[in-house]
Structure 1
Amino acid sequence: MNELAVSLQDINTLSIITRLTLAILFGGVIGYERGRKRRPAGFRTHILVCIGSALVMITSQYMMEVRHYSTDPSRLGAQVISGIGFLGAGTILITLKQQVKGLTTAAGLWASACMGLALGIGFYEGAIIACVFIYICNTILHRFDVYSMSRTKLVEVYVQVTTVNAISKVFETIRLNNMNISDVEISKTRNVEDSVGLFITIKQQEKHDHEKVLLLLSGLEDVITVDEI
């Protein structure tokens, strides 16, 4: 058993296959969860990032132990961490409603790259624990985050109304239902002529499910759409 552990830490065919196989498995676990939610970077992207990162660290170890190059083995890994930022930036989008999408996916790609680096250098325990924690963060903690955010007193909504005259009705409805308006931003929309978009931060007096606020505003006659942002 000890001989196998030592063999997996060295650079040989068995250790290379093991590390890259685990990179496919661990990257696939994280990527599958993202892919199910239709995120820009999904199953294959996370696998490729993890494999590439693992290969970089294997190459670094190979250069040190086999080729005996006098270089810092962490330099290639550092370039991976820097370079993954460009890939992560491609998953971050700002919608017409000023919503920022893709931050979690970008962070997941970065974490997958770090996981691949750990696998590539033979730090199996760290990679396994990291894979479990990343998956928990993307699934269980995501549900907790959604639940906790839906129960806060502050509600940020995007309301699209038919005309400028309908804005006063929206404000009046909010105030009549024992809520305050903390911030308002008005913008012209593109999809419906004469319509206006409102970015409103609403402060409730008591914690309620945000769905009640959305239903209240969507029931108004001159409101086209209501979305929480």
Structure 2
Amino acid sequence: MSAAGVWQISHMDLILRMVLAVVLGGLIGLEREWNNHAAGFRTHILVCLGSATIMLLSEYGFSDFVNEANVRIDPSRLAAQVVSGIGFLGAGAILRNGNVIKGLTTAASVWLVAAIGLSVGAGFITGALVCTFLVLVSLYTLNKLEKHILRHRRTHVVEITINEHPGFLSSLNARFGEQGIQVINLKMIQESDAALSSDGNTSPLPVMHLVFSLRCPKQEKLMAAYEQISALDTVVSMEAANFVFHKQAA
């Protein structure tokens, strides 16, 4: 191959590489879209196609200047800018809510799609195909395996509104303890409610809103604890996944 041929690409090869970038990026984006993540189908396609186009531009877009004495062409220069610049787009997919951080996997998939696009643009097709296959395995298969292995470490959240009285917290903890449920975290918010006193006058009744983070390996034990707690006279309302209880007004 002549020196000039290294810097040339046919229109058919150019189109095939760009279409392949769309297909590979779309496959990964489809998995993200299916699971309702921030960056989905179209975003991954655009990132992969954009990276491939920039790589093609870096390799072949300046071929007319190859023979210029004062020009040195470096095909990796624009690719390096993509690798560093894609971080800003990935950071937009990361969300933080208290101590919970979401979107890291999606941000990583966006970064990987950019790498796949650069590989396709550079003609490193085998590497791009293998990378796409491994990414899909990691996002789909390993995700299910991770959920199966860590199913006992899943955290359940339940919100309970209760009329405050001495020993109310120990009573709730006892119900959870009887079912072997571990309390990971507890947040208490004191509220005020209007209730009738014994003489018929309206008086403030202290109400406590509790948010429990629980860990329980078995769903049936969790539901049994919910049933026991909702039967307590002091419990006003209770909400959790697959369980809602509101005491009817007398």
Alpha-carbon displacement from aligned partner over 1:10-29 (angstroms, at most 9, x marks no partner):
52312211110001111111
Deviation at 1:111, TM superposition (A): 1.1
Match among 30, 33, 50 for residue 32 of structure 1: 30
Which residue does the alignment assign to 1:49? Answer: 47
CA distance in 2, matches of 1:92, 1:216: 37
Which of 203, 207, 211 is matched with 1:197 structurally?
A: 211
Tell me which of 54, 60, 63 is aligned to 1:62. Answer: 60
Q: Which runs of 5+ in 2 are unaligned?
A: 192-206, 242-250
**1:195 alignment partner, SS class:** strand
How far apart are residue 103 of structure 1 and its match?
A: 2.0
Return the alpha-carbon distance in structure 2 between the equivalents of residues 189 and 78 of structure 1: 54
Q: CA deviation at 1:53?
A: 0.7
Pick the structure with more helix per residue: 1
Deviations along 1:122-166, one digit per CA (max 9) or x if unpaired, are 10000011111111112111111111110x3x4433332214845
1:32 positional shift? 1.2
* Cα distance, 1:167 vs structure 2: 4.1
Q: Does the 8 Å contact 2:189/2:209 carry over to 1?
A: yes
The structure with the largest alpha-carbon Rg is: 2
User: Relative to structure 1, is the Cα distance of residues 171 and 76 closer, same or farther in structure 2, using a 3 angstrom cutoff?
Assistant: farther
Residues 1:178 and 1:144: Cα distance change in structure 2 (over 3 Å) = same
Q: Is the 8 A contact 2:179 2:222 kept in 1?
A: no
| Aligned twin of 1:134 | 135
**Shift in Å at residue 120 of structure 1?**
0.9
Say which SS state the counterpart of residue 60 (structure 1) adopts. helix
Superposed CA offset, 1:47-94 (max 9, x none): 000001111111111256553342543232222122222212222223
Equivalent AA in structure 2 for residue 142 of structure 1: N
Amino acid at match of 1:136: V
Taking only aligned residues, the RMSD between alpha carbons, in angstroms, comes to 3.1
Which residue number in structure 1 is paired with residue 175 of structure 2? 173
Residue 38 of structure 1 aligns to a residue whose secondary structure is coil
Q: 2: CA distance between counterparts of 1:18 and 1:198?
A: 55
Q: Which amino acid aligns with 1:137?
A: S
**2:197 equivalent in structure 1:** none
For residues 136-175 of structure 1, the aligned pairs below 5 Å read 136-150=137-151, 152=152, 154-163=153-162, 165=164, 167-175=169-177
Q: 2:174 aligns to what SS in structure 1?
A: helix
Partner of 2:239: 225
**CA distance in 1 between partners of 2:239 and 2:190 (Å):** 12
| Structure 2 equivalent of residue 94 of structure 1 | 96
| TM-score (structure 1 length as normaliser) | 0.76
What residue identity is the alignment partner of 2:240? V
Q: Distance in 2 between matches of 1:49 and 1:80?
A: 10
Give the distance between the partners of 1:105 and 1:217, measured in 2 at CA: 36
Question: Which of the pair is proportionally richer in strand?
Answer: 2
Equivalent residue, structure 1, for 2:11: 13
The answer (yes or no) to whether the contact 1:64–1:70 under 8 Å persists in 2 is no
Report the number of matched residues: 210
TM-score, with structure 2 as normaliser: 0.71
Task: Measure, in 2, the Cα distance between the counterparts of 1:164 and 1:27.
Answer: 54
Letter in 2 for 1:74: S
